[in-house]
Homo-oligomer: A and B are copies of this chain.
């Protein structure tokens, strides 16, 4: 069973090779831009400066068969890791909006390659346990 994703835009980051990408989100990292495809620009309406958003993106050239992986600490299951190698390689980051303009949202410190495909943006929700 499967489902189809549609890309809604792309992400501009400073990273053109996987080896240059940080291992995780860096809240004090460089500025990155979420660029929405033309038909989705109106979907930004209501987002505001400083708001924390959940950004979902599609990681390419990954191993989608990885169930158990080797790490520096030994073997671990894919679902206990944030590795890009996973059955559905969806990257997720929660970051505040640094700036907004028509069809573009700037955030700081994403960990993905330049031109990574954008899947979704939604307001982040937290619950302290």
Contact = CB atoms under 8 A, between A and B. Distances in A.
B94 A126 contact: yes
Given A2-B6, A7-B2, A90 B77 contact: no
A56 B129 contact: no
A56 B79 CA distance: 11
A101 interface: no
A49 interface: no
A96 to B, nearest CB: 5
Contacts of A81: 46, 122-123
A17 interface: no
Contacts of A125: 24-25, 82, 94
